[in-house]
Structure 1
Amino acid sequence: MSALTALSAIHHSPVERISGPVLHIDLDAIAQNHRALRRLAPAATIAAVVKADAYGIGAEPVARRLLEEDCGLFFVATFGEAVALRRVLGSTPEILILNGVAPADIAACHALRLTPVLNSLVQAKAWAAAGAQGRRKAVLQVDTGMSRLGLSVAEQAQLIATPGLREQLDLGLIMSHLAIADEPDHPGNVAQWQAFQSARQRFPSVPASLANSAGLFLGPDYHFDLCRPGAALYGIESGPRMTGIRPVMRLTAPVIQIRTIERDTAVGYGYSFRASRMMRLATVGVGYADGWPRRFAESGAAYFGDRRLPIVGRVSMDSFSVDVSALPGEALKEGDRLELIGPHQSADDVARAAGTIGYEILTSFGKRHHKIYSGWSLS
């Protein structure tokens, strides 16, 4: 067998022949989530945030699938992400860069039809000075209370007062970002909405965008002209009012060894766990190098069928151990796969147990995950 033939055979191997973690991704579910969000905000355009490789899901297959749903506007974080997405999507979709643009990349933005979100007065002046007007409409971000990106009230006034600058920018969108939309009753949401309304009065007749995933579920007042969901597309919880969103992924990993240990035997780094009885353990071939959180060991588990298998000892870089003593003797074998994320525990469940959020779990998955997509042909 030639090297190329061997590589092709590995790529097309069934799951049971793949030695590492496997991420199963349902692109149809992502498309259905996008449709659900469009129904929630029928008067607004529903874009798709595909930054950080679509939150670890895969920006290329996700964006291509959403193009089939007539989603023609995508947000990324960086210039590099935008260039990569333009290469695979062609010239038609709108691609916006949330982190703005460096002066050295402005010419490339024009050439590639990429639109940076202008987050500061410095960026706005540089974009205007480069002769952007007439070629790309500008997107301006205003700060409404998050103190992260966007023009302050004073900077907005300075922009308006600068002769010719407002006209040179040819604004196609004004936007801001909600900081606490996942807590619907928090007064900060209303305060940001009011600040955004004030900013809109400074830039009348410009289309507006405020709602992220959680903001979509705050109601029509927050939808404006364009909504920018990310997490909700990928089945991640984005607030207590989220409804109609399907899970889109399942993570499995193989058992790479099974052993029996005696009472008082230590397990894992630091001897943080000692067996209180004779136990059967399975070592699972995934670890924190694969984005499996080290803190999850304190209360986490994997699943074999419906059976919960508690983690024992610390999560290592490439593996962790689970207690399989409750399973019948030959029920679990080396090479069998355990569910880490799926019907029995979501990415958000894992995140809560690890003291973090579902966003971090997804975006932490490393390159060693083998991704299998359903719902769309990648050929």
Structure 2
Amino acid sequence: MDEGDRAASLAGGRLTIDLDAVVANLRHVEAATAPARVAAVVKADAYGLGAGPVAAALAGAGCRDFFVADLAEALDLRPHVGGQASIHVLHGLWPGTEALALEAGVTPVLNSLAQVRAWAELARTEGRRLPAVLQLDSGMSRLGLSDDDVAALAAEPQGLEALDVNYVMSHLASADQPGEDVNAAQRASFERLAALLPARPRTLANSAAALGDPLTHGDLVRAGLALYGVAPGPGPAAGLRPVVSLSARVIQVRTLPAGTGVGYGLTYTTRGTERIATVGVGYADGWPRALSNRGAAWFGGVRLPIVGQVSMDSMMVDVSALAPDALGAGEAVELIGPHQSVADVAALAGTIPYEILTRLGRRYARRYVGGASAQGMRA
């Protein structure tokens, strides 16, 4: 038994990531946004799915631009994408880490005058221009150079002479709501601010804008959620292939008489004789506690309601609709798959797909399928 098979035999749940589907989704975004380049957003461990294997598959498919949150993620990513790929750090650099970023060949997204000046000072010390991205705050008020900061840079153009600015960028606050007036207002603000600086390629669109608003495409789009097979805006994930499937194993099945309380707080009481299965996945595995008494698992096309509270390591589902011998200890029920998507789970839990993906725990047996990068990557 190899390591992957051993992990699968011991874990309470299995998370399967389809790398071919990730690449197919890259191609879908490329077709929708050409001639813009498509960068892959692989921050937060590729939204919880494993930045190493996911980014390696994307790099193997020709993707050369990657975005992560911080320098630690960039350093971890570099071995998986090769030395020629551009790794952009969205948070910029903590003071004092500029030399480390330069050594790793990382491109910072500069969000403040202090970050601009520190990176430019290193460039002057090195005697060469260093790559950078300038982020402009077009109205989200999260990260980026303010109107005053841009005006200061425009008034002293020599301040940017030490930098090779690859892109100017911004981020839309409501890209997943394409009809919102704020999107047009942010596009206008971005164009106004960018026009004050030396002309450089522009990047504004995330997945939602890339697939929903051609006016935002610019020169580079930054695809994240769409790569992982989830619709980034309202409506179904048309053209995107599901990437994730998740199953949980049954620990035991019990037949309970009417009037029996189930789970912490006894928040569910059996209405008649019911067969209740306990499965080995809980909120410590990233399965939302908010699904208590409202979510479901699936087996053979049959919906199995979650009953009682989702606890740390397990939860209970009502399997009364199945034949008595249909499901036993060690067998698996579907949590995410053909009958229940990531978006479905998020809607039931009152959250967003990003949170569902990024919270999927490390206790699952992980299995990568498809793509040359999947070889030897089961855990």
Deviation digits for residues 20-75 of structure 1 (CA, Å, limit 9, x no counterpart):
21111110011000001110111101010000110011111111111121101100
CA shift for structure 1 position 160: 2.1
TM-score (norm 2): 0.95
1:106 and 2:98 are equivalent in the alignment: yes
Q: CA deviation at 1:254?
A: 0.1
Three-state SS of the structure 2 residue aligned to 1:170 is strand
Paired residue for 1:270?
A: 265
Structure 1 residues 124-273: aligned runs within 5 Å: 124-131=116-123, 134-162=128-156, 164-240=158-234, 243-273=238-268
Secondary structure of 2:29's partner?
Answer: helix
Identity %: 49
Query: Structure 1, residues 151-189: CA drift from partner, whole Å, max 9, x if none?
Result: 111111012223621222332210000110111100011
SS in 1 for 2:93: coil
Q: In the alignment, does 2:340 pair up with 1:348?
A: no
Match of 1:72 in 2: 64
Structure 1 352/290 Cα, relative in aligned 2: closer, same or farther at 3 Å? same
Residue 153 of structure 2 contacts residue 197 of structure 2 at CA under 8 Å; is this kept in 1?
no
Tell me: CA distance 1:47–1:134, structure 2 relative to 1, closer, same or farther (3 Å).
Answer: same
Contact 2:178/2:213 (<8 A) preserved: no
Is 1:378 aligned to 2:375, yes or no?
A: yes
* Counterpart secondary structure, 2:45: helix
Give the secondary-structure state (helix, strand or coil) at the position aligned to 1:174.
strand
State the distance in 1 between where 2:326 and 2:354 align: 34
Is the aligned partner of 1:12 residue 2:5?
Answer: yes
CA distance in 1, matches of 2:208, 2:238: 11
Letter in 2 for 1:157: A
Distance in 2 between residues matched to 1:9 and 1:290, nearest whole Å: 24
Q: Which among 109, 115, 118 is matched to residue 123 of structure 1?
A: 115
RMSD: 1.5
- 1:90-117 Cα distance to aligned partner (Å, 9 max, x none): 3111100011101221001111100110
For the Cα contact (< 8 Å) 1:252–1:338, is it kept in 2?
yes
- Cα distance in 2 for partners of 1:280, 1:216 equals 47
Is the Cα contact below 8 Å between 1:113 and 1:136 reproduced in 2?
no
The residue type paired with residue 308 of structure 1 is: R
SS at match of 1:159: helix
- Normalising by structure 1, we get a TM-score of 0.95
Q: C-alpha distance in 2, partners of 1:169/1:160?
A: 14
- Return the offset for 1:9: 3.2
Take 1:59 and 1:194, find their aligned partners in 2: how far apart are those partners?
Answer: 34
Report whether the alignment pairs 1:299 with 2:291.
no
Helix, strand or coil for the counterpart of 2:2? helix
Give distance in 1, aligned partners of 2:21 and 2:289: 29
User: Is the 1:110–1:135 contact (alpha carbons within 8 Å) kept by the matching residues of 2?
Assistant: no
Moved more, 302-311 or 152-161: 152-161
Shift of 1:363: 0.1
Distance (Å, rounded) in 2 between the aligned partners of 1:220 and 1:285: 44
- Post-superposition shift, 1:356? 0.1
Residues 10, 257 of structure 1: CA spacing in aligned structure 2 closer, same or farther, 3 A cutoff? Answer: farther
Letter in 2 for 1:107: A
Rounded Cα–Cα distance in structure 1 between residues aligned with 2:33 and 2:157: 37
Task: Give 1:36's match in structure 2, choosing from 8, 23, 28.
Answer: 28
Aligned partners of 1:325, 1:12: CA distance in 2, in Å?
31
- The match for 1:308 among 303, 307, 322 is 303
TM-superposed CA distance for 1:83, in Å, is: 0.3
SS in structure 2 at match of 1:227 = strand
Q: Secondary structure at the match of 1:38?
A: helix
Specify the code of the residue in structure 2 equivalent to 1:152.
Answer: S
What is the CA distance between 1:199 and its match in structure 2?
Answer: 1.5
Match of 1:285 in 2: 280
Tell me how far 1:223 sits from its aligned partner. Answer: 0.3
CA distance in 1: counterparts of 2:227 and 2:79, whole angstroms: 23
Structure 1 segments unaligned to the other structure (5+ residues):
1-7
- Equivalent pair of 2:248/2:332 in contact (CA under 8 Å): yes
User: What is the alpha-carbon distance in structure 2 between the residues aligned to residue 200 and residue 249 of structure 1?
Assistant: 38
The 1-side partners of 2:198 and 2:270 are apart by 68
In structure 1, the residue matched to 2:361 is 366
The DSSP-based 3-state class of the residue aligned with 1:103 is: coil
* Correspondence for 1:330: 325
Aligned residues of 2:268 and 2:293 also touching (Cα < 8 A): no
